[in-house]
Homo-oligomer: A and B are copies of this chain.
Amino acid sequence: MIIILMGVSGCGKTTIGRQLALEQGLPFFDADDFHPKANIKKMKNNLALSDSDRLPWLNTLAEKIFEWENNEGAVLACSALKESYRTILASRHSNILWVFLSGTFEVISERLRKRTSHYMKDTLLQSQFDTLEVPKYGLYVNIENSIDDIIKRISSKLKQMNQSVFGIIGLGVMGKSLSLNMAEKGFNVSVYNRADNGEAQVVSDFLEDNHALKNISGFTELQQFVASLATPRKILIMIKAGKAIDIVIDQLIPFLTKGDIIIDGGNSHYKDTAKRVDYLASKELHFVGCGISGGEEGARKGPSMMPGGSRESYQSIAPILEAISAKDKTGKPCCTYIGPESAGHFVKMIHNGMEYAEMQLLAEVYAIMKISMENEKIAEILSEWRSTDLSSYLLEITIDIFLKKEGNQYVLDSILDAAGNKGTGSWSSKAALDLGSVNNMMSSAVFARYLSSFKQIRQSLSSQLKKDSEAIEEPDIMALKNAYRFARIINHHQGFELLRLASIEYHWKLNLSEIARIWTNGCIIRSDFMDQSVEIFKVYENYFEHQSIFKNLISSENSVKDCVSYSLKYRIPFDTFFASYNYWVSITTENLSANLIQAQRDYFGAHTYQKRDDVSGRYYHTNWLEK
């Protein structure tokens, strides 16, 4: 830290500077001591220095400032009356606290007159006042205050400047990446990681690996970590979702003060988040459930961020979150206030549910193609798709995957077909069930992962089936492309419909267009179609209201049927495509056969039913056994 005390002669730069340096344990320098000989000579002869005389001196000082900062810092007394001088001084380093010692002509003139060793004419003082360009930044101090008060004022400002604007708990992959992202954007960041359970070196290793970033402070003691944060404190927790979050919250609370903000950046269940919001509100603290998508790379370079909680807390954290988030095509941050309570984590959960289905659709496209095509060929076809409206991040990485070799072998071919899951797909499906929303694509994608995990059972059962050895015809790629577009639209429709229903149910006032917008970059399901969706949701409630999309679905129906038939013929699991088709057919069928279900329910449970022709909605009961 470099503190430069500036102002006209006689404002007290040296006196205050020496004492401040003493208190801060920093060396003190007087700028006048760095003048080249020619300048000293001129000054001795009472000749005024020109700006060109000052240039080498200012450059020397800029070098010195850089040097001091790389040591322990310094306090410098330097009149620095003009903005142009200050610009040169700050040219090698920007982390300077400018302290402008301000006083009236009369006060300073009076002081100068009292000095024995340093006499100055009023005319010279007047010329300094004329030259002075008051800085529009830094700390202003009125020199009529006592020196002690002035020192206190500067010390307090310094303490504040040394505090971090943001704290991050948990240096896992995501925590590290977000810390670096933030520090690189110029924010002072404090990081904390526990030192037990073999994690003793996590913080020190992280600091060492990133020693170039001076604005990261590391801690293994929670109290010191919290003390290093400027208030209202903004603390992002990046640890595994679950009970650990509650434990950390309870460890933090004793050190926090009213208005502090805890942000949970993990994939916590939205119902847990809702409870935590209430719990912390009872302690006058804010809790923000913030979905973060983009994986490690996104966290490092710019994720899509979905913070929910009080609007007040969002305003406080927005400058930082928006700075580190990805940017959309217009340059706006892929971070927006999602809504109150647990809205942020809910929206992130649905993002993941949609991601499950998007991934499964690609896996099924692969399943259809792989029985008759090599990986290279599949990659070629998908590359063609990528050049169209079907382009997406997931399609992009899938093409990379098909082409990736280790030695002569495709990596993909070596991978065990047993997919893992971390809960959010299942949570989304359950939320849909709770809300009466039909999200059969995401649930079928979850089931497909579960089914993949029963590898041994599949091996055992499949061995009992006769294998056909008939010749395999290639699938109709154009139909498959249409079906893929169709299924993706239905997936997006189901996902956004679920958000719309949740918004109504929980009174969240979600802005679907804004949600689509922050999903256009940084996150896993970014795509051309998501780009389009931003505009669609400005006008329409759902995709089906958009005429050309709805017509596209109608005209793709036969392609979907063709692909389903192909999957039947060759016995290829195609569940999530089936789900998209099933949803589409039912939602566009006027009369379903659910009247039978109502009759059955009335028969065995007297649940009653409504009639087609009775618009009053009256309920009827039939005694079915009466002849």
Q: Which residues of A contact B (CB under 8 A)?
A: 173, 295-297, 359-360, 362-364, 366-367, 370, 393-394, 397-398, 400-401, 404, 406, 411-420, 426, 429-430, 433-434, 436-438, 440, 443-444, 446-454, 457-459, 461-465, 524, 544, 550, 554, 561, 564-565, 568, 571-575, 578, 582-583, 585-601, 603-607, 609-613, 622, 624-625
Contact = CB atoms under 8 A, between A and B. Distances in A.
A97 to B, nearest CB: 41
Contacts of A571: 585, 589
Q: How many copies of this chain are found per oligomer?
A: 2
Contacts of A295: 604-606
A584 to B, nearest CB: 9
Contacts of A457: 587
A320 to B, nearest CB: 24
A420 B602 CA distance: 11
A362 B600 contact: yes
Contacts of A414: 611-613
A372 to B, nearest CB: 14
Given A593-B367, A604-B397, A451 B586 contact: yes
Contact of A443 (B362, B443, B454, B462): B443
A593 B433 contact: no
Nearest to A437: B450
User: What 6 pairs between A and B have smallest CB-CB spacing?
Assistant: A452-B594, A415-B595, A367-B593, A419-B594, A462-B590, A416-B610
Nearest to A293: B604
Nearest to A613: B414
Contact of A464 (B393, B550, B594, B622): B550
B561 A568 contact: yes
A297 B565 CA distance: 45
A400 B573 contact: no
Contacts of A437: 450
Contacts of A447: 438, 440, 583
A366 B590 contact: no
A591 B465 contact: no
Given A359-B597, A411-B624, A415-B599, 17 more contacts: A364-B593, A400-B625, A401-B596, A404-B624, A412-B595, A416-B610, A418-B598, A418-B610, A420-B601, A433-B446, A436-B453, A438-B447, A452-B586, A458-B590, A565-B568, A572-B585, A573-B589
A493 B359 CA distance: 28
Contact of A465 (B366, B554, B625): B554
Nearest to A573: B586
